[in-house]
């Protein structure tokens, strides 16, 4: 423990601690090494550590949840002098963001105008700088997986939409917007992106993931991380690790026991984290609350230290997901009480505990463990140093405040950000079916339109617990009405609710339609008789998919299929628009409904974007980042997969016909209003095992409309010492082409792209033949070419 320097808080009032180019954080009247911006960060960290008490150090290892979650006061209060954070705090999460949530709404007067929030954060930061002995600034954290989780910040569509864009440049821009807005508002750390591969379509949080393929997730997550951190804000990756495949897809109280073999864990679940850590250098990682093979992640030295720091090279600080530490004793039962759970997490490598409880519930047990000699002060210094290092990297010890609070009003949700958000929504639209080119609709040919379905006027899907709130939302009905204007007639009918009264039990025990349900469907059918085309907006709402909302069936919930069948029986052309957060088993719909548009959970501009897409102003170019199974009985069914693991049962060692086979829509699938052709595939023919492989291919728009294509490169290792995946995604580029235009798309395959985990679990590029495949999807391969890797 360093020298205890006593200074009265009144000292800050008597003599300014603010000097030209530096701040006297410890209020001792001189520039210490840690206060000198010209000194190397490591020297500054060590100097600060040497001056801190055990009380101050332990305070740097816990989160204080913001106003209304845990913190009771909106602004600093005299009572704070009696709270544990009188000695500082690691971070304050979601402070004054005006969170909208069914579970814990946190309204505040300080969230808007944006400049008012920046001023409020400065006021709180000033208290910690001026009223604590060492003046260590706070890291203000906030969620941001589809736009910053703040009142009227720029909204992005759900992460599954973002994944569907396959547009790395656009994701980089989105990250920059998130980071820029965070910094302008006073946040210094954004909990994004989510790098969990969504491998079980039943899992409720599929909507919050980029998709199922580790390479695709790594590429998108890398760009989001780079974008956020380019704005001087930390990016914290979540949820590390093996979180997204709970047994049976069950979420909520289950959340444990992922059945994942070691090699699969490295190749699928750890791959995005390793890549993003090594290539984008995030300053934060969130440890998940599940276990793997009986070892809870947040209590695991192997996961938090050996893998994360020693192998992957992570050099930021690890924050726990909420209640992950407590779960060591309350759920996993590997600790006999809270104090032992604290010890295990601390020893494992956790830096900052987060939970919806006061920070002293972690800090006090940790202080007791230190006093009892059950954890070492050397480990304490190491854990605290990681946190301080990030605060130095963020510049908090050079300028702890938002420099220009008024600038926030011009930065947050400005015209540039709005345009980016709108573009991301447009690019996330995926066209699943379009028989006889029913789409795009022509108002002149189909001026009378029925908009029906339970999601036609619903707007709740555009706002989630982890993104911006309070933006006005344009429903699909309103978007179509606005688009059509006086050029046609739009009528509406709800048709049915999202679910019926006994759902989800009605998925296994069907109940008769009530009189009201029959009347609602009849109303839609009657109105359909007088129109030229039907737009049925169906799917899931916020109560059917999301955190703790896993499903046992993936059919359209409630009476929605019955509504679709009744509408289809009218003989009028039906366009089905899907608002949903996970793949749905829409088998009947796919067979009989002529046109299907997958919109996922778009942002507040959803109605405008869907209308633009239906009428051809926006040509859908998104691709599915996750496999659509035909039935939940096929699960696991995803990409990539081991050879023949998803094959039919017939063949040399099989017989009979007892199962539905194949995907409804495969990974990478998505149609367009135009067509594309590939030609002139060129691949380096021979390379050394540590050399790059250059690939190029020409893509031509062979149709009549401007459109986007996602050129997908898959790589097959033809012979290997261990079984590898059938083939892997190893490149993708989204390109815009005018009719008749050709562009050359270039890829570079790095040794890491060709590596496998050998029998000794070492990443190795083995000599032999590889096949490059270029396709429109993982099942629609158009060109192939071999190259050879030599020793």
Residues that are catalytic? 321
Which residue has tokens 């990297």? 393
Distance CA 533, CA 536 (A): 10
DSSP E strands in 465-601: the ranges are: 489-493, 533-539, 574-579, 595-598
3-state secondary structure of 173: helix
Contact (Cβ atoms closer than 8 angstroms) between residue 100 and residue 470: yes
Other Cβ atoms less than 10 A from the Cβ of 560: the count is 28
C-alpha distance from residue 104 to each of 101, 114, 131, 183, 236 (Å):
5, 22, 30, 25, 22
Q: Which of 778, 749, 766, 756 is nearest to 685 (CA)?
A: 749
User: Are 62 and 90 a contacting pair, CB within 8 Å?
Assistant: yes
Distance CA 299, CA 304 (A): 8
Q: Which of 223, 604, 620, 559 is nearest to 434 (CA)?
A: 620
Q: How far apart are CA 723 and CA 645, in angstroms?
A: 11
For residue 721, give the 3-state DSSP assignment.
coil
Contacts 24+ apart (CB under 8 A), 509-515: 513/559, 513/562
Residue 723's alpha-carbon distances to 262, 265, 638, 718, in angstroms, are 14, 15, 17, 10
Beta bridge partners of residue 295, listed in sequence order = 292
8 Å CB contact between 6 and 27: no
Cα 396–Cα 397–Cα 399 angle in degrees, nearest 5: 65
Beta strand spans in 115-222 (E): 139-143, 189-191
Q: Are 94 and 465 in contact (CB under 8 A)?
A: no
DSSP strand pairing (763-764 vs 756-757): antiparallel
- Listed in sequence order, the DSSP H helices in 548-598 are 560-568, 587-592
Alpha-carbon Rg for the chain in angstroms:
27
């Amino acid at each position: 423990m360093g020298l205890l320097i006593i200074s009265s808080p009144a000292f800050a009032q008597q003599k300014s601690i603010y000097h030209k180019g530096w701040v006297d954080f410890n209020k001792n009247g001189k520039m210490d090494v840690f206060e000198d911006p010209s000194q190397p960060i490591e020297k500054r960290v060590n100097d600060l550590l040497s001056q801190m008490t055990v009380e101050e150090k332990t305070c740097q290892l816990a989160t204080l949840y913001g106003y209304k979650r845990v913190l009771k006061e909106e602004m600093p209060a005299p009572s704070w002098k009696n709270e544990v954070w009188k000695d500082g705090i690691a971070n304050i999460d979601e402070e004054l963001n005006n969170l909208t949530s069914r579970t814990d709404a946190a309204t505040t007067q300080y969230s808007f105008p944006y400049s008012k929030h920046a001023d409020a954060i400065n006021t709180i930061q000033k208290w910690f700088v001026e009223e604590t002995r060492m003046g260590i600034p706070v890291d203000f954290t906030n969620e941001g997986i589809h736009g910053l989780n703040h009142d009227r910040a720029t909204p992005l569509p759900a992460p599954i939409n973002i994944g569907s864009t396959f547009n790395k440049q656009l994701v980089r821009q989105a990250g920059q917007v998130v980071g820029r807005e965070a910094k302008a508002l006073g946040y210094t750390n954004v909990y994004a992106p989510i790098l969990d591969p969504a491998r079980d379509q039943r899992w409720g949080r599929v909507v919050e993931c980029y998709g199922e393929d580790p390479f695709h997730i790594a590429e998108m997550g890398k760009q989001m991380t780079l974008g956020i951190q380019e704005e001087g804000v930390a990016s914290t990756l979540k949820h590390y690790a093996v979180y997204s495949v709970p047994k049976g897809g069950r979420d909520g109280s289950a959340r444990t026991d992922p059945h994942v073999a070691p090699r699969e864990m490295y190749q699928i679940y750890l791959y995005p984290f390793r890549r993003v850590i090594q290539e984008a250098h995030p300053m934060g990682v969130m440890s998940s609350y599940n276990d793997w093979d009986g070892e809870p992640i947040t209590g695991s030295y192997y996961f938090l230290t050996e893998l994360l720091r020693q192998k992957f090279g992570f050099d930021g600080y690890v924050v726990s997901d909420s209640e992950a530490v407590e779960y060591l004793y309350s759920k996993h039962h590997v600790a006999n009480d809270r104090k032992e759970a604290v010890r295990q997490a601390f020893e494992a490598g956790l830096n900052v505990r987060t939970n919806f409880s006061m920070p002293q519930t972690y800090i006090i047990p940790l202080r007791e463990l230190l006093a009892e000699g059950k954890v070492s002060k050397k480990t304490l210094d190491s854990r605290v140093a990681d946190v301080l290092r990030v605060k130095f990297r963020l510049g908090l010890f050079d300028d702890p405040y938002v420099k220009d609070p008024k600038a926030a009003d011009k930065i947050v949700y400005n015209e540039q950000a709005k345009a980016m958000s709108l573009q991301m929504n447009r690019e996330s639209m995926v066209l699943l079916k379009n028989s006889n080119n029913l789409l795009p609709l022509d108002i002149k040919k189909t001026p009378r339109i029925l908009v029906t379905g339970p999601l036609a006027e619903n707007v709740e899907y555009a706002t989630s617990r982890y993104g911006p709130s309070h933006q006005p939302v344009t429903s699909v009905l309103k978007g179509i009405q606005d688009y059509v204007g006086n050029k046609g007639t739009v009528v509406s009918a709800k048709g049915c609710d999202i679910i019926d009264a006994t759902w989800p039990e009605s998925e296994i025990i069907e109940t008769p339609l009530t009189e009201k349900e029959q009347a609602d469907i009849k109303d839609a059918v009657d109105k359909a008789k007088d129109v030229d085309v039907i737009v049925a907006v169906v799917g899931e709402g916020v109560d059917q998919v999301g955190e703790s909302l896993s499903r046992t069936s993936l059919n359209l919930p409630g009476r929605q299929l019955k509504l679709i069948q009744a509408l289809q029986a009218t003989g009028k052309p039906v366009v089905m628009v899907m608002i949903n957060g996970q793949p749905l088993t829409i088998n009947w719909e796919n067979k009989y409904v002529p046109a299907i548009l997958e919109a996922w959970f778009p942002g507040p501009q959803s109605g405008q974007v869907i209308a633009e897409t239906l009428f051809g102003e926006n040509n859908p170019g998104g691709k599915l980042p996750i496999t659509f199974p035909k039935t939940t009985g096929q699960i696991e069914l995803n990409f990539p997969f081991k050879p023949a693991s998803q094959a039919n049962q017939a063949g040399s060692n099989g017989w009979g016909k007892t199962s539905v086979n194949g995907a409804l829509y495969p990974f990478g699938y998505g149609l367009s209003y135009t067509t594309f052709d590939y030609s002139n595939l060129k691949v380096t023919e021979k390379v050394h095992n540590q050399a790059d492989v250059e690939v190029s291919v020409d893509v031509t728009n062979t149709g009549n409309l401007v459109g986007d294509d996602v050129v997908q490169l898959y790589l097959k290792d033809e012979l290997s010492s261990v079984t590898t995946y059938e083939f892997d995604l190893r490149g993708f580029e989204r390109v815009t082409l005018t009719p008749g235009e050709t562009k050359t798309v270039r890829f570079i395959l790095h040794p890491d792209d060709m590596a496998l985990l050998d029998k000794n679990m070492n990443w190795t590029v083995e000599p032999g033949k590889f096949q490059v495949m270029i396709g429109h999807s993982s099942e629609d391969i158009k060109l192939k070419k071999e190259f050879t890797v030599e020793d």
